[in-house]
Each structure stands twice: as C-alpha cells, then as structure tokens.
Amino acid sequence: MSTMQRGTLSFRITVLLVGSFVLLQLAVFALTWTPGRDEPSGGGGLPSVAQVRAMVDLIAAVPPPRRVAVAKAFDGALYHVLVEGGPLPPTAQSAQAMNIGRVYSRGLPGYRLSVTGRAARFRRLARLNPWPGWMSDPLAIHVTLGGDQPAMLTIESQPSQPVRTLLRQRAALLGVGGIAALVALAFAVRATTQPMARLARDIRTYRGEPDSPDLAVAGSPELRELAQAYNEMKGRITELMAERTRVLAAIAHDMRTYITRIRLRAEFIDDAEQRERAARDLDEMAALLEDTLLLARAEASRAGMRRSLDLAAELRRAVEIHQEMGDAVVLSLSVERASVVAAPLAVRRTLTNLIDNGLRHGTQVVLSLCEDRGRWRIDISDDGPGIAADKLSGLGQPFGRIDPSRDRSAGGGAGLGLAIVRALITAQDGEIAFANRDKGGFLVSIWLPASL
C-alpha cells in the first residue's frame, strides 16, 4: 500500500503541515490587507499629495536636461518615478481613477495631470510584488512639466527597478526554499511512517511458526514498545501452541494404550460381523488420533526439516506406488525437474492424502505439474461427483465433512484429511485451492515457490 494514500498517517501529517503553512500565509495576507477606500492623500500605492507637489515643483524648476537625473534621485522606493516626453495620456474611465485625479488636482493647482491604470485591491501586497503589471496595469499619475519641449513627470504605484530586482531574488529564494522544505517534509514523513509500515508487514507474515524471527526493536520509543509487546505476544502464542501439541501427544499416547486393550478384547466377540465392525471402529479411532496429532504438529511447526526437493520425482514416486497397487492414477509432466525447498514428508503426505481422497470418490486420479508465474503448480483431479459449489469455501477446515451422508464405514473420515493437507502446504509457504472441474469431478491445485 502506498504510504500517501488518503487516511494514512503520512497523508495526515502532510496535510497538517501544509495546512499550517497555508494558514500562516493567510494570516500574513490578512495583516497586510487594507480596504479599497481612496485615501485623502490620493492612495492607490502612490505618494501623498504633498510629496508629489514637492517632486513636481523641484523637477519643474531645474533645466530640462537635468530633469531625468533629478527624477532618478526620487526613484528608489516603493514607487517608480521617471520623466517622459510626449503628450499627457487621458485619464482612465473609471470612478477610482477620476476620484484619485480630483484629489491630486486640488493639491497641484496650475498643473495638468491624468491618472491611468488601476489601484491594486491589496495595496500593501502589491508594493512587494516583484512582477507588477502581471495581472493589470499599475496605477500611475502623470503631471505636465513646463518647458519648451512637452514633458511630464510619471509616478507609478510599483517598486522601482532596484527594488523589483531585490524582490524577484527574494521570491526565487523563497520558491527554492519552499521546494526544498517540501522535499524534506516528504523524507521526514516517510522516515516517520516507514517503520510502522514495515512493522505491519512483518506482523502480517507471522503464521504462528516457532522459528519465525522476532521483530526488530528499533525506531521511536513508541515503535520499540509496540515491537517488544508484539514479540512477547508471539512468544506466548508459540508456548500455547507447543503446549497444545504436548497435550494432544499425551492424549494420543494414552488412547493408543486403551485402543490396544479394546482391540484384544474385541477378538473374543463371538459374532464375526460384530467383531469386524468393532475392529473397523478401532482402526478409525486410531487414524483419528494420528490425524489430529499430525494436524497440530503441522500448524505449530514447519512439518519437518526443509531441503531442496524435486517435485517431478516425488510425483513419479507417488504415482508408481499407487499403480503397483492397481489404482488408476495417471501422471502428466510438462517439465522433467521442478526444484523446491520443502519438507519431503509433508509433500509425500499431501500427495498421498489427495490421491486417496480422489480414489475414494472416483475411479481415476490425474496428476499434473507445470510452471505458473514463478511457482510450481500441482493439479490433482478425479472423475468423481465433485462438491456442491456453496460448500467449496468450507473445505480444509478441521473436522469439516462436506457430505454428512458419508459415514465412517463409507470412508467419510473425520474431516481432517484436507485440513492436514492445507496445514502442510501452508507450512511450506505454498497455497492450495479447491474447485470443481468443468467436465465433472473434483480438482485440487497446489502452488509451491520454485527454487534455483
């Protein structure tokens, strides 16, 4: 699962930090916001009427060749001052521009002036904008200057060129810093949540096996405490499973003694038919004890030492044994060798149980072996009646007999055969599935990891 999916801890931490950053910017924005009313001095980010009057009087008094140099002396703040030639532009046809023009006209008698552009809605922010005029033309006041050649003084409500350069450098620095902060945030969030994701993955892989490794006790104090608590819980589960196996083994040992005694006493039954039935019941009781003990051991351990094994050779061996007994068992191999790492006894017990189950309910069993996406797949199918579709999901459960009408005398068993098979295959890191064949019959598919 991706660590940034909605609802995950990574997603929540990221939203919290980014949201805090946005709220901080909104707070700064609110503090710098001013209403859009026209100030008595003219407003709109322009200098006051008295400042404009002083600049106009001073620049108009100097000779025309020096006016540009004098204007540059005023150009260096949060508004731009320059001397331009040409006729006076018309005032913008807006109530805002006209109101500002009337304010400055009253303070500059004897001068013709016009107002162009539009005042920014957020004036304090506009003064710090490194790219003025990007969304609209900045507000500007144009005042005529006396002289032989037409000239005018223009004051724009935008920072001067040096200030704009400085603002652009700061904006670029903030942009790079913001990207670096987001990258650092992503790494920090990943470093915080990755141990938890790894912990969850390790917990999911635990199957109650005594030899499964403990979780690494590392990370933050909370993660270390959680890993330690999990390791302690796993140890208790392992002890309980081992105790269950020991109890079952003790019960099985004692029951074998009683079964042997009863078997000897059954020989003194005069009725041959009743004596035979008693012997069958005792044999089935002994098989039940063995299967129960095997199931417990398979669930609590790896079912024996695992080593490199050739599945193709094991299938040939199982088929030859049954063919020697006259059973209709057929083998189909797509490969000559199929290497896996598994417990030989577990594989042989699985094949024997499934072949016997197929022969019990059908007349022929077919085994096949093939490669399936990096794993070896074994199919064991028979030509029997199959299983009701609504009962397939219950297969492999201990003591679960699919057809209640099949009693022990008919070979129904105690319902541990498929449960033992599932437990043995799971202990080998494999998978098992049950299905009905399209043309009739029952199919068991087993997947085991291929080894080099």
- What DSSP designation does 4 have? T
Q: What is the DSSP code string of 195-213? A: HHHHHHHHHHT--S-TTSP
Same domain, 352 and 420: yes
Banded pLDDT at 438 (limits 50, 70, 90): confident
Please tell me the total number of residues recorded for the chain in this structure: 452
Least confident of 80-84, 216-220, 232-236, 348-352: 216-220
Coil, helix or strand for 285?
Answer: helix
Same domain, 325 and 340: yes
Same domain, 357 and 242: no
Banded pLDDT at 257 (limits 50, 70, 90): confident
Query: Tens of pLDDT along 330-384?
Result: 999 999 999 999 888 788 888 988 998 899 889 999 999 999 988 999 999 999 8
pLDDT of the residue at 184: 81
Same domain, 14 and 80: no
| Structural domain for 429, as ranges | 307-449
Same domain, 128 and 182: no
Last residue of a domain, one of 301, 317, 352: 301
Share of the chain above pLDDT 70, in %: 79
Contact predicate 403/412, CB 8 Å: yes
Indicate if the pLDDT at residue 133 is higher than 60: no
Same domain, 175 and 26: yes
Indicate if the pLDDT at residue 64 is higher than 60: yes
Coil, helix or strand for 448?
Answer: strand
Last residue of a domain, one of 244, 266, 301: 301
Same domain, 379 and 431: yes
Same domain, 154 and 214: no
Least confident of 132-136, 172-176, 411-415, 443-447: 411-415
Answer yes or no: is 3 within a domain: no
Same domain, 24 and 39: no
Provide the domain count of the chain: 4
pLDDT of the residue at 207: 62
Answer yes or no: is 2 within a domain: no
Query: Tens of pLDDT along 14-28?
Result: 777 777 777 877 776
CATH code of residue 246: 1.10.287
CA dihedral 98, 101, 106, 110 (to 10 degrees): -120
- Separation in Å, CA 210 to CA 260, 297, 422, 427, 428: 34, 11, 18, 11, 14
- Separation in Å, CA 234 to CA 127, 201, 228, 239: 65, 15, 10, 9
Q: Where are the beta strands (DSSP E) in 280-374?
A: 307-310, 329-333, 339-342, 365-372
Q: Minimal CA–CA distance to 116: which of 136, 142, 135?
A: 142
Residues linked to residue 365 through DSSP beta bridges, in sequence order: 329, 382
Q: Which residues fall within 8 angstroms of residue 447, CB to CB, at 6 or more apart?
A: 372, 375, 376, 377, 378, 430, 431, 432
Same domain, 285 and 403: no
Q: Which residues fall within 8 angstroms of residue 231, CB to CB, at 6 or more apart?
A: 214, 215, 217
Same domain, 14 and 40: no
The more confident residue out of 42 and 425 is 425
Answer yes or no: is 93 within a domain: yes
Phi, psi of 168 (to 5 degrees): -65, -40
Answer yes or no: is 115 within a domain: yes
Same domain, 43 and 143: yes
Q: What is the spatial distance between Cα 406 and Cα 276, in angstroms, rounded to a whole number?
A: 19
Answer yes or no: is 375 within a domain: yes
pTM higher than 0.75, yes or no?
no
Answer yes or no: is 4 within a domain: no
Contact predicate 203/35, CB 8 Å: no
Most confident of 74-78, 219-223, 238-242, 264-268: 264-268
The more confident residue out of 396 and 450 is 450
Answer yes or no: is 1 within a domain: no
Last residue of a domain, one of 282, 301, 320: 301
Query: Tens of pLDDT along 72-118?
Result: 888 866 778 888 887 888 888 888 788 888 889 888 888 889 988 87
Banded pLDDT at 210 (limits 50, 70, 90): low
Contact predicate 79/128, CB 8 Å: no
Q: What angle do CA 200, 203, 207 make, to 5 degrees?
A: 150
Q: Minimal CA–CA distance to 132: which of 177, 72, 82, 80?
A: 80
| Amino acid in the structure at residue 281 | D
pLDDT of the residue at 44: 61
- What DSSP designation does 398 have? T
Q: Which residues fall within 8 angstroms of residue 33, CB to CB, at 6 or more apart?
A: 122, 124, 125
Banded pLDDT at 402 (limits 50, 70, 90): low
Query: Tens of pLDDT along 275-326?
Result: 888 888 888 777 777 766 666 666 555 445 678 899 999 999 999 999 998 9
**Relative orientation angle of helices 311-324 and 344-361, to the nearest 10 degrees:** 40
